[in-house]
Amino acid sequence: MVERIHLKTPLDEKTVRSLRVGQFVLISGIIITARDRLHRYLYEKRPEMDLLKGAIIYHSGPIVKNNTIISAGPTTSMRLEHYTPEIIRHYGIRAIIGKGGMGGETEKALKKYGAVYLQAPGGASVYLAKRIKGIRGVKFLEEFGMPEALWILEVEDFPAVVTMDTEGENLHKRIERKSRAILFGSP
């Protein structure tokens, strides 16, 4: 049976630095959604946002109906690579949940500032929405629209796998190397 690590937000650096690639985590507490427009805004304007200290950013554009999240799957994270290292540093982000991993600059920032990248299961947006127990707030809804707004979500046992850790381990790179070896016979 796979070990389940229960995380409660906000996260502290010691807890995050103890996490390792391949571990299965269940998150309870508050997570914050952020996509392209919000990342650019945070990067360029640097507004004071105390709620991001020790936070988990979820790369997701939820669908909301009658103040309930009905779908909230992960979106591809790599396109946010340009903004992510500075957002981790400036705001004290401790984890990012997304899909597909991130690049070398984010990998360095995770190691330096004590953060991890978590992969949520793709294709499970309705299931993941059921792990969201409530909306605790929303910011920038009028400015950015529903999928790009900053949603403050309360979650319970939200599942993810650590795929990039503070030691520089990267499950996405491991899989890429193994796939290349199988396909091309070389590392």
How far, in Å, CA of 119 to CA of 64, rounded?
22
Active site residue 82: no
How far, in Å, CA of 78 to CA of 84, rounded?
9
Cβ-contact 138, 149 below 8 angstroms: yes
Of 6, 39, 90, 172, the active-site residue reads 39
In the chain, at which residue ranges do the beta strands (DSSP E only) sit? 4-8, 24-33, 56-58, 63-65, 68-71, 95-98, 116-119, 132-139, 150-164
Residues carrying an active site annotation: 39
